[in-house]
Amino acid sequence: MRKFYLCKKCGNVVSLLVDGGGSLLCCSEPMEELTVNTVDAALEKHIPHCDVRDGKIVVRVGEVMHPMDNDHYINFLALEHDDTIEIHNFKPNEEPIWTFNYIENSTVYAYCNKHGLWKIEIN
Ligand SMILES: [Fe+2]
């Protein structure tokens, strides 16, 4: 499973392309590894809702559409399969919907800048 890290000071979120084993610092402090689905927030607004059709996965966040305000929005969706990851970034006021090519046994992540990282497994 891919790891994502957050700087609690500036809000930077990173994931490693190569894990060299060192520790990550941002704003002079250690970055925090994000754990999925752990923030106390509405599941129906954060768990990615996936619809597989015609070789594609249409992902929206979530079952009830997540807000896309300037200070609270879905920053990115990511689809991970084995050692491959595809990421789409959103801006405020865009709809948190993106279409990926369907890949069996993949994981879809959604990141909310207020409520952290969420994921769902796709079979
Ligand atoms: Fe949120």
Check which CATH number belongs to the domain holding 6 and give it: 2.20.28.100
Same structural domain for residues 71 and 18?
Answer: no
Kindly give the distance from the C-alpha atom of residue 109 to the centroid of ligand 1, in angstroms, as a whole number. Answer: 13
pTM above 0.75, yes or no: yes
> Phi, psi (5° rounding) for residue 117?
-100, 135
Using the predicted structure, report yes or no on whether residue 112 has a pLDDT greater than 90: yes
Q: What is the pLDDT of residues 73-100, one digit of tens each?
A: 999 999 999 989 999 999 999 999 999 9
CA distance 63 to 82: 26
Kindly give the distance from the C-alpha atom of residue 43 to the centroid of ligand 1, in angstroms, as a whole number. Answer: 9
Same structural domain for residues 11 and 40?
Answer: no
Same structural domain for residues 27 and 62?
Answer: no
Same structural domain for residues 110 and 81?
Answer: yes
pLDDT for 117 equals: 96
Kindly give the distance from the C-alpha atom of residue 55 to the centroid of ligand 1, in angstroms, as a whole number. Answer: 29
Same structural domain for residues 63 and 92?
Answer: yes
pLDDT for 53 equals: 93
**In total, how many domains does the chain have?**
2
Kindly give the distance from the C-alpha atom of residue 72 to the centroid of ligand 1, in angstroms, as a whole number. Answer: 6
Kindly give the distance from the C-alpha atom of residue 53 to the centroid of ligand 1, in angstroms, as a whole number. Answer: 27
Same structural domain for residues 22 and 82?
Answer: no
Residue with more model confidence, 58 or 40: 58
Domain extent for 8: 1-34
